[in-house]
Amino acid sequence: MVDNFQHWARPPAPFGELCISSGRQKLLATDETITIKNRTFVLTEIDGLAFRAASRVNQASYMVGVAQGAHRCRFGFDAYSRGTEMRDRKREWDSVVQLLGCKAGLRIAENKLNQIYAGGRVTFGSLPATSIEADAEGLRLRRPFMRKIPWHEISYADMRHGSVRVFISSKESSGKLRLKVDMYGWNAVILPEVVALMLREPPPSFNFDAARLSGPF
């Protein structure tokens, strides 16, 4: 399965141009745009991201998705154990993911955080996968009767094995898995960056240190 992700670097190195072919479809990425199935998206205008990867001994599958408003495109491609193909395809996918993260993901995360600060609710993930809802109080799975996890209980979030995972602190450790959603859903991959930003800079009206000491709301 996909390896663990690190937070996107800032700023990105010069990218140049990368073309990935899969059958009759192509993905073309540059420093300014990404074109999927003949539709071009400007990186600074993208408001939705999705990506996922899975690998076995002799085969790997990759997916990249971008969205702007109602326009959404996904691009998938495979790699097989023929020469250096699996290594080359993995490197290409990593490059596209880093480009999208630096040029779009960080901006989307900051926009989501500002919505939360303003008292709004934002969603990470989409059907058919489960999604997570976030507001100034915390995170919860968008399912009936699911408990909200307050921000002061959350220790970190990451992406691993095709899932976005949220961990909480417990008496035994600072890394108990509490929430998990598939990376396939729109903007699920943005959640770890939002969690990192929230833990670093909680809403101005919220006494984060006091909440950590006082327990649940």
pLDDT tens track for 43-94: 999 999 999 998 888 999 999 999 999 999 999 999 999 889 999 999 999 9
Specify the residue for token string 């141009």.
Answer: 17
Mean pLDDT of the chain: 85
Confidence check: pLDDT of 173 > 70: no
Q: Are residues 94 and 58 in the same domain?
A: yes
Confidence check: pLDDT of 211 > 60: no
Q: Strand locations in the chain, DSSP E?
A: 17-22, 25-30, 33-36, 39-42, 48-55, 59-68, 71-80, 122-124, 132-134, 138-141, 149-150, 154-160, 163-168, 176-182
Count of the separate structural domains present in the chain: 2
Confidence check: pLDDT of 212 > 50: no
Q: Are residues 126 and 46 in the same domain?
A: no
Examine the fold and report which residue of 85, 105, 125 is the final residue of a domain before the chain moves on: 105
Nearest-Å Rg of the Cα atoms of the chain is 18
Examine the fold and report which residue of 59, 88, 105 is the final residue of a domain before the chain moves on: 105
Q: Please, what is the end-to-end C-alpha distance for the chain in angstroms? A: 37
Q: Is the pTM of this model over 0.95?
A: no
Q: Is 57 helix (H, G, I), strand (E, B) or coil?
A: coil
pLDDT at 10: 57
Question: Would you place residue 172 in the very low, low, confident or very high pLDDT band (cuts 50, 70, 90)?
Answer: low
Question: Would you place residue 137 in the very low, low, confident or very high pLDDT band (cuts 50, 70, 90)?
Answer: very high
Residue 183: domain span = 113-214
